[in-house]
Structure 1
Amino acid sequence: MNTIQKYIEEVCRHIKSKEARKVVSLELEHHLAEKKSALQEKGITGDEADAVAVEQMGNPITVGKEFHKLHKPIIDWGLLSLLVILLGVSLLPKFVFEQMYTGSFLKTLIFSLVGLGISLLIMFFNYRWLANKGLILYGIAIALLFWSAQFGVIHKGRPMLSIFNFKTDYFILVLILGIAWASILSTYAKPIDTSWKLQILVLVAIFIPVVMFSSNTYPFYGALYFILTLILLWNSPLEKKVKRRFMGTQAIVAISVTIVSLLAFIQAIKYTDYTLLKPHHLERINGFLFAEQYKDGAGYQNFIIKDLLGNSSWFGTGEQPEQLSKLPEIHTDFVLTSLIHSIGWFGASIIILIFIVAMIRIGTVFMKTAEPFGRLIVIGGLTIFSLCTLWSLGMNIGVLPITNVSFPFLSYGGMNQMIYSVIFGLILSVYRRRFLVAPTVVSKKI
């Protein structure tokens, strides 16, 4: 063992984290190699160059302790506190509507505690284990989408992924696909940059789940996944020209679909031709745009929402009027509408503010993260959490169309709690290891 290796080993003895030791070891090897090269240019060679380079680096004990401080795991107490608050807020609607849904408070309390436990476990889990699992995760998601096309079920009006006796929302597939693309785009960045064939393959692979989500009668998740891939591509370590190529192609497809949808809408209204747009689709659009006119049909839910919000005060009534019982899924899809009427706009505004603060906090984690895969995990989690929150908010105050989208944490359901707990856990894991992972791009051949 030469002088440099002995020095690095002595420094690493004072660093507790195994992950940090690997990062520091590589860093020291690089710095010492540079110093040795500079010394050799001055005519100092061999063991003497090693000894001088080591001496210039400083006392190994002191250096080791400094590196330990710099590279130790760090918990984002701010984001963890916000997670606890969000899980606590999830109990509020179950407490308010306990009379209508007996036992929901206790179940949600259990879900919240389990969710917190999952987040903590994932926080201490090394998220980098997933960094090279992208192709496997993508394959699993596609297989499940194919399975659901054949064996999917409708449960309480919602299309559900059914695996034997286990039923879950398609939302979990959006999360799996998000992690898969974060892995693929960070691990295979260089091969994708240099091969137009791989670029075509990536585009095809991106659009397959969009089509499958739509064919499984869940277009919102198709749109959510599509936007998620756009954001992941833009923040990936791909070259800018390749990013622009991907973004341009996806933009053309999105604009084309929008134009076709608008033409279908105009065709259905003007010519009563339902070739492209089915009658029930037109009814839903009219129900959203003209709720009062269609209050006895497709606009029923929108009319009830506007009526409830119009009769809500700043501090609420605490009552559960007849309209609440007429509004379906008040503990899931329309939980915020129900809370606004019961606890008032002031209380609901505080809840919304908590969600906004959580989004901003996740954004700061993204800005502080240098490692490519970790950055994509964080921005992907932020995209899913933000889009679902904002769409649910718009839906609950009557400014966006009604879809089967659960409000993060607030909506009743164990799977809803678990998925967002996993997202927050992964983000916490990235933050905890942001000083333990070198900000390099690992590229493999496909």
Structure 2
Amino acid sequence: MGIKDNSKINEYIDNICSYVKFKESHKEIKDELFTHIEDIVDENTQRGLSEAESTSEALKRMGDGEAIGKQLNIAHKGTPDWITLLLTIILVNAGVCLMYLMQYKNSYKPNDYLFNHSLLYSAIGTVGVVLLYFFDYSKLEKYSKYIFIGMCLAFTVIFFIGHPKNGSLFITIGAFSFDIKVISLYVFVISLAGIFNNYDWTKKINLVKAAGYLFIPLILMIEVQGLAYCGIYIITFIVLALKSGMKKRYALYIVAFNIICSLFHLIFEPYRTARFISFLDPLSDPTGITYMGAQMYHITHTSGLIGHGFSSNENLLKLPSMESEYVFSFIVHTFGWLGAAVIISIIISFIYRILHISRYVRDSYGRLLISGLISVFIVQFVSNILMNLNLFPIVGVALPFLSYGGSLGLINMLSVGVIMSVYRRRSLSA
């Protein structure tokens, strides 16, 4: 009779598990306890003890079941990381407040659309975070390839049906509108985490497949003028590939290849070359190619430490899409560099916290998920802020949580929900 059929051992282990509130960890706890007890029983049997004596001695050596159960309950607490949630709530609510200030204090697009929709999307996102927190993220891993293929097919179908205008392609469901390139970016990243978990990079066929996982999404996003999102995807792909065991020289090949492609792209589209160079001297053509850079330059150089408050500013109101790509310029103008420093500090704390909690996740798939999602966040935060400071070329990337954008804001919050789901199960190895 094996130890798993021993009623005395099963009773002992069930008693321990009764003190562990996180029920999803029970199976792993039982397996670990059975293995440990089996080792002690085998050791006692080799010493010449009978099966009954070996079992009694093993349970005695294990210790008091109640004490062990309470210790395991602490170790396997399925609780969220309240600091990450608090930082997320602060950023989301700051974004909603910014939309309110833009509309009612600066007379920017004077209607209720920005504020009301920001409030609505933040409420829906909050519900999404709660639902995803209780969702078992590990169930996604075995469907990762199908999710990737399904997203590619959906993207293609929507592209031909939607007939994108001016490079934009949106899915409209009632009063809600979702940008396909934003949704696809996050879906591709989540699917890559599952595909690359336990990926064998030594096989040549897998290298060929990896090339497909890289270039197919890029081609799709280029078709809807999502060059900025292509850059985010490339960086995230490299991060996930390296963390899953890809050799560093392959990452260098990818970077070199994309640099060459980017140079050819700039050569064959001269206006992009001019746009790329213009950020070096934003005042060289303030009524032409450097118009946006000139406006941001004047805002950042005249706002001072505490900003202009809610007084009108000609340069500020001339910024198109101020509620999305240029919301950081609005922060600098209104609250000055002191307000900008506060926002940047919160963003850095948010990034640091997620990187910190990822170290406690035992499951390799969970760690890859967090790595992929935080990479997307970091690239968006950094590129947007630097762009608003004229330290990076103008790209169509919004500031996560703070910028207006239904699909972007919602999917950012859902991403935090996925991260919280991983953290809730951080003590589980699979």
Distance 1:196 1:44 in 2: 54
- Shift of the alpha carbon at 1:108? 1.9
Q: Out of 182, 191, 196, which is 1:171 matched to?
A: 182
Contact kept in structure 2, 1:158 and 1:404, CA below 8 Å? no
Q: Residue 282 of structure 1 is aligned with which of 261, 273, 280? A: 273
Q: Is contact 2:242–2:251 with CA below 8 Å preserved after alignment?
A: no
Match of 1:443 in 2: none
Q: Does 1:146 align with 2:146?
A: no
Number of the residue aligned with 1:160: 169
- Identity between Structure 1 and Structure 2 (%): 26
Which runs of no fewer than 5 residues in structure 2 stay unpaired?
A: none
Equivalent position of 1:269 in the other structure: none
Do structure 1's residue 199 and structure 2's residue 191 form an aligned pair? no
Q: Is the 8 A contact 1:365 1:378 kept in 2?
A: no
SS of 1:289's equivalent in the other structure is: coil
1:193 Cα deviation after fit:
5.0
**Do structure 1's residue 419 and structure 2's residue 375 form an aligned pair?**
no
1:169-190 per-residue CA deviation (whole Å, 9 max, x = no partner) reads 211111111111111222x43x
Aligned positions of 1:257-296 closer than 5 A: 257-259=258-260, 261-262=262-263, 276-296=267-287
CA displacement at 1:219 relative to structure 2:
1.4
In the TM superposition, 1:68-79 aligns within 5 A as 68-79=73-84
Partner of 1:330: 322
Aligned-pair CA distance for 1:427: 1.4
Counterpart amino acid of residue 292 in structure 1: L
Q: Which residue of 2 aligns with 1:216?
A: 224
TM-score w.r.t. the length of structure 2 is 0.90
Equivalent in the alignment of 1:23: 28
- Following superposition of structure 1 onto structure 2, how do residues 223-262 of structure 1 map, counting pairs within 5 Å? 223-236=231-244, 238=245, 243-244=246-247, 247-259=248-260, 261-262=262-263
CA distance 1:76–1:193, change in 2 (3 Å): same
Shift of 1:23: 1.4
SS at match of 1:280: helix
The RMSD of aligned alpha carbons is: 2.3
How big is each residue's C-alpha offset from its partner over 1:311-334, in whole Å with a ceiling of 9 and x where there is no partner?
212111122222223211111111
Distance in 2 between residues matched to 1:118 and 1:356, nearest whole Å = 24
Corresponding residue SS for 1:48: helix
Deviation at 1:309, TM superposition (A): 1.7
Deviation at 1:413, TM superposition (A): 2.1
33-42 or 407-416: bigger deviation = 33-42
Alignment partners' CA distance in 1, 2:17 and 2:173:
50
- State whether residues 316 and 330 of structure 2, in contact with CA within 8 Å, keep that contact through their aligned partners in structure 1: yes
| In structure 1, C-alpha distance between the alignment counterparts of 2:264 and 2:195, rounded to whole Å | 36
Once the two structures are superposed, residues 403-422 of structure 1 have per-residue CA deviations (whole angstroms, 9 ceiling, x without a partner) of 21111111112222211101
Post-superposition offset of 1:348: 1.6
Q: Taking structure 1 as the reference length, what is the TM-score of the superposition?
A: 0.86
Displacement of 1:350 in angstroms is 0.7
Q: Report SS of the residue matched to 2:288.
A: coil
Are residues 1:182 and 2:182 paired? Answer: no
**How far apart are residue 154 of structure 1 and its match?**
4.5
For the residue of structure 1 that corresponds to 2:142, the secondary structure is: coil
Aligned residues: 417
SS in 2 for 1:168: strand
1:282-331: per-residue Cα shift (whole Å, max 9, x none)? 33234333432332222211111112222212111122222223211111
Unaligned runs of 5+ in 1: 266-275, 441-446
1:263–1:201: structure 2 CA closer, same or farther, 3 Å change rule? closer
Preserved CA contact (<8 Å) 2:324 2:398: yes
Once residues 38 and 366 of structure 2 are traced to their aligned partners in structure 1, the CA distance between those partners, rounded to angstroms, is 29
The whole-number CA distance in structure 2 between the counterparts of 1:152 and 1:54 is 66
Is the contact made by 2:151 and 2:184 (CA closer than 8 Å) also made in structure 1? Answer: yes
Shift of 1:141: 1.8
SS in 1 for 2:303: coil
1:264 is displaced (CA, Å) by: 6.9
The aligned residue for residue 293 of structure 2 is 302
Deviation at 1:33, TM superposition (A): 1.8
Distance 1:260 1:405, change over 3 A: closer
Aligned partners of 1:395 and 1:154: how far apart in 2? 26
Report 1:330-369 matches (<5 A). Answer: 330-369=322-361
Mapped to 2, the partners of 1:91 and 1:9 lie a distance apart of: 49
Helix, strand or coil at the partner of 2:214 = helix
Task: Report what 2:93 is aligned to.
Answer: 88
1:159-213 Cα distance to aligned partner (Å, 9 max, x none):
2244787742211111111111111222x43xx2564323332332222212322
Alignment of 1:106-125 (within 5 A): 106-125=116-135
Check conservation: 2:316, 2:333, Cα contact below 8 A: no
Alpha carbons of structure 1 residues 263 and 80: separation in structure 2 relative to 1, 3 Å: closer
* Pair 1:311 & 2:269 matched: no
